[in-house]
Structure 1
Amino acid sequence: MSADRRTVLALTGALLAGAAGCAGTTDPNDTNGTNDNGTEDDPFDGYETPEFPRIEPTTDHDIETGLLAEQVRGNVDFALALLAQLREDEPNENLFFSPYSVSVALAMTYAGARGGTAAEMGEALRYVLEGEDLHGAFAALEAEFEQRNADGEEVDRGYPEEDGDGDEDDLGFQLSSANATWADEGYPFDDDYLELLEASYDAGDHLVDFSGSPEEARQEINGWVEERTNDRIEDLLPGGSISSATRLVLTNAVYFLAAWEYEFDPADTETKPFTSLDGSETDVELMHQREELSYAEIDGHQLVELPHANGDTSMVVVLPAEGEFESFEASFNVDRLATMLEETSRPEVDLALPKFGIQSKFSLVETMQELGMERAFTSGADFGGMTEPDTNELFIAEIVHQSFVEVDEEGTEAAAATAVVMDESAAAEQVEMTVDRPFLFYIRDRPTETPLFVGRVVDGETLQDD
């Protein structure tokens, strides 16, 4: 890991509007095998769906543990639904994004939505809570992550010096989330809405001149994003995305950098073939370790959890049975994930995992529309909670999401950004797990079960591009 990666890892997101409906999700009772009757067997049949892990918030925010756990479950559900929708456009490409960043950004937008617009957004984003409970839940999560970051300490991993400054170039831990409100100066925004964003999301109010100097405002927002993502997310808002009609942009930034609890020895990394979804083979660098890890296997579908050194975050890798990636991915949902996590034990895992890096950037407008959120992008959108009476003319003009992840022998670095642009209308045994074919992964905050980043790897040819 290069010296600049030791500084900070940022995940940035600007909030935009959401979609309704459950497109891209599947019934947990759907099946993906074939039995003697010609119907499909479900490898999860017979497993009782567990409660998704409860969390005990350590913050001062007045939110019940049960309510917070319900919303976290909704966040996981949204993460998998968004993955399902995004892969439809590029089924043979690697993907990476931050559902947490999108959820927070959209929560800030949702706070100003009313009527049918709010109903669509809430359904699409899997918001199981409403009003003060919803925003209190996100405030509690933000505070949890702030505490997690404050508790993080540099971990002595025993790596050699690299930067010549006399100190060991060890990898520590960073997890932080920042929000900002970019409002057109002089526009009649509702004071209660802005105060809610400040109270629940600590979203600093930035006044900019969208009407007179949209390009200058765009560069200022992009600079804020770059600063909070260690320059991993550059030029989030492309030229032309901000115009004189823009009135509000909502941004969220999360920063993540963590060493592995159990490092991979670079001497054990070997070049081996990776079989892509289309059947082609590409030589990639496979890291190797043998450790006692949380591991589960259901009918050939494997899951392993790789803890980070801070003890609270981890990467979960899900490797479907050979030849069954597409059917497994199509039926994978929050209940099946919870079941696999519930079934974990701690055998000695002989693990081979590719080093990889993924960069993604896409507009989420059509994606959210497909999920069912439609009104928010039209002149009929109701964001009356954002503005003073008789000034409800705002709609969502664009949603941009950009992300970055790099995984190597030392740890994980990830960054993501979402931008919402609102315009005014005219153990005992040893098991083997060789990840040499398509797989899913996500990086989670373990105490809260919040999915920070989600990805899929299906193409080996671009997996380790320089």
Structure 2
Amino acid sequence: MAQQEQVDVSLNLSKHILLNYGKDSNLVFSPISIQVILGLVAAGSSGQTLDQLLSFLKARTIDELNYLYSSIVDRVFAKDSSSSGPCLSLANGVWLQKSLTLKPSFKEVVETVYKAACRQVDFESKEEDARNVVNSWAEKETKGLIKEILPSGSVDSSTKLVFANALYFKGAWSCEFDASRTKDNEFHLLDGSSIQVPFMTSNKKKQLIRVFDGFKVLGLPYKQGDKRQFSMYIFLPDAKNGLPRLVEKFGSVPGFLERHIPYKEVEVGAFRVPKFKFSFEFEASDVLKELGLVLPFTRNDDLTEMADSPVGPKLCVSRIFHKSFIEVNEQGTEAAAVASVSIVLLCRKFYIDFVADHPFLFVIRENNTGSVQFIGQVLNPSST
């Protein structure tokens, strides 16, 4: 499984999530977080369920899938010795009903590939206590940004296993925006109305921008560490109501993100990017089923590689909860996610404007590996 295929899975997933949940709201989610959770499920599956998970995640074998996610955990989320680079952490957790034990082979994958700690709790008689244990873990791993990944009523006496994945990112721009220059300007909403929101700008005369048919892409690098290089990319449609069409293209064309990354700085004219801060949560199973991933959510005999049980119940995935947070300001970006992509004539100077004054997409990406940490859209920067 190539890294590019993992990115294509991310973009395809993003298209369906954006179209299902993002019609009238800001949205952010972590595709890698959801994929890691599905990888854990795959590691404990067999038969047709395993085949379907591998097909969805574009892997030929479970060993190939384990290798990919192990390399992502080791390369992208390894601690950076440089203090200037972004703070990025990934944590995986497994909570098991205390009457069960993990099978040795699955336990090894959980601990060595996914670096997850397994804890035993009592879902059968103390489900609320068990839910609070998972939520406290998520809050700690996301520096307090995600306080409740398992909502009330999400676990009960039938719950046997809970997998959770927490992702935290905080990065400073390589060239910070000057807060004294931040001013309110007009932002156009999809319904044709407009609002006043704070826009950041810069006195930097060149920016990483590429122009395509129907949209532009801005690259905003974060301060680099000694191993990793992260950037935010903003995909801005030309038309003020052009976001839905861009979303369709973004998630349907293989290799779309890689082919539209800006690598060269160009002279910039008008340049404004809005500040924004919001959280978003959704339950992912319906979207995954629409994409053809149905067997993990069906009670069958295929989730047999996870745990030994004295009664041998048939297991299935109940629901997959995902919650994310992002804040973009003059200094940089803080984000977290938890889960249970012209011709110049003569010598006239040509300036490219980049004014994000209408709905746009954004991506946070590690550039050395191409892995995508966050994808989202901003419909209204003032909405939290």
Q: TM-score, normalization: structure 1?
A: 0.75
Q: Which residue identity lines up with residue 302 of structure 1 in the other structure?
A: K
User: Secondary structure at the residue paired with 2:260?
Assistant: helix
Change (3 A) 1:451 1:243: same
Q: Which residue identity lines up with residue 372 of structure 1 in the other structure?
A: G
Q: Which residue identity lines up with residue 221 of structure 1 in the other structure?
A: V
User: Secondary structure at the residue paired with 1:137?
Assistant: helix
| Counterpart for residue 82 of structure 1 | 13
- Using the alignment, how far apart are the partners of 1:363 and 1:328 within structure 2? 24
Change (3 A) 1:238 1:308: same
- Using the alignment, how far apart are the partners of 2:90 and 2:98 within structure 1? 25
Contact 2:100-2:308 at 8 Å conserved across structures: no
Change (3 A) 1:291 1:201: farther
Deviations along 1:270-324, one digit per CA (max 9) or x if unpaired, are 1111111222111111101234332211124101110001251110111112143
Q: Give the alignment partner of residue 314 of structure 1, picking from 227, 231, 242.
A: 231
User: Secondary structure at the residue paired with 2:76?
Assistant: helix
Deviations along 1:101-135, one digit per CA (max 9) or x if unpaired, are 111111111111112212222233x3334222211
Task: Report the count of equivalent residues.
Answer: 366
Contact 1:269-1:286 at 8 Å conserved across structures: yes
- Using the alignment, how far apart are the partners of 1:182 and 1:127 within structure 2? 27
Unaligned runs of 5+ in 1: 1-66, 155-171, 420-427
Q: Is residue 2:264 matched to residue 1:345?
A: yes
Contact 2:278-2:383 at 8 Å conserved across structures: no
- How far residue 334 of structure 1 moved from its aligned partner, in angstroms, is 3.9
- How far residue 326 of structure 1 moved from its aligned partner, in angstroms, is 2.3
- Using the alignment, how far apart are the partners of 2:325 and 2:61 within structure 1? 32
Q: Give the alignment partner of residue 150 of structure 2, picking from 210, 220, 237.
A: 237
Q: Which residue identity lines up with residue 358 of structure 1 in the other structure?
A: F
User: Secondary structure at the residue paired with 2:119?
Assistant: strand
- Using the alignment, how far apart are the partners of 1:118 and 1:441 within structure 2? 32
Q: Which residue identity lines up with residue 7 of structure 2 in the other structure?
A: V
Deviations along 1:178-206, one digit per CA (max 9) or x if unpaired, are 11111111214311111111111111111
| Counterpart for residue 417 of structure 1 | 338
| Counterpart for residue 345 of structure 2 | none
| Counterpart for residue 96 of structure 1 | 28
Contact 1:210-1:242 at 8 Å conserved across structures: yes
- Using the alignment, how far apart are the partners of 2:283 and 2:170 within structure 1? 26
- Using the alignment, how far apart are the partners of 1:236 and 1:199 within structure 2? 24
Contact 2:28-2:326 at 8 Å conserved across structures: yes
Alignment of 1:37-48 (within 5 A): none
Alignment of 1:370-381 (within 5 A): 370-380=290-300
Deviations along 1:240-296, one digit per CA (max 9) or x if unpaired, are 111111111111122211100011001211111111122211111110123433221
Identity %: 31
Contact 2:54-2:62 at 8 Å conserved across structures: no
Cα root mean square deviation, aligned: 1.9
Change (3 A) 1:325 1:465: closer
Q: TM-score, normalization: structure 2?
A: 0.90
Q: Give the alignment partner of residue 360 of structure 1, picking from 271, 275, 280.
A: 280
Contact 1:145-1:176 at 8 Å conserved across structures: no
| Counterpart for residue 441 of structure 1 | 362
Q: Which residue identity lines up with residue 449 of structure 1 in the other structure?
A: G
Q: Which residue identity lines up with residue 30 of structure 2 in the other structure?
A: S
Q: Is residue 2:170 matched to residue 1:249?
A: no
| Counterpart for residue 369 of structure 1 | 289
Change (3 A) 1:411 1:286: same
Change (3 A) 1:259 1:238: same
Unaligned runs of 5+ in 2: 341-348
User: Secondary structure at the residue paired with 1:294?
Assistant: strand
Q: Is residue 2:240 matched to residue 1:327?
A: no
Q: Which residue identity lines up with residue 182 of structure 2 in the other structure?
A: T
Q: Give the alignment partner of residue 194 of structure 1, picking from 107, 111, 115.
A: 107
Contact 1:382-1:392 at 8 Å conserved across structures: no
Q: Which residue identity lines up with residue 345 of structure 1 in the other structure?
A: K
Q: Is residue 2:123 matched to residue 1:210?
A: yes
Contact 1:296-1:302 at 8 Å conserved across structures: yes
Contact 2:4-2:255 at 8 Å conserved across structures: no
| Counterpart for residue 163 of structure 1 | none
Alignment of 1:113-152 (within 5 A): 113-124=45-56, 126-147=57-78, 149-152=79-82
| Deviates most, 172-181 or 217-226 | 172-181
- How far residue 429 of structure 1 moved from its aligned partner, in angstroms, is 4.9
Q: Which residue identity lines up with residue 249 of structure 2 in the other structure?
A: S
Q: Is residue 2:233 matched to residue 1:301?
A: no
- Using the alignment, how far apart are the partners of 2:287 and 2:220 within structure 1? 31
- Using the alignment, how far apart are the partners of 2:58 and 2:42 within structure 1? 10
Contact 1:295-1:303 at 8 Å conserved across structures: yes
Contact 1:152-1:174 at 8 Å conserved across structures: no
Deviations along 1:161-185, one digit per CA (max 9) or x if unpaired, are xxxxxxxxxxx63111111111111
Q: Is residue 2:96 matched to residue 1:183?
A: yes
- Using the alignment, how far apart are the partners of 1:320 and 1:76 within structure 2? 21
Alignment of 1:376-415 (within 5 A): 376-380=296-300, 382-388=302-308, 391=312, 393-415=314-336
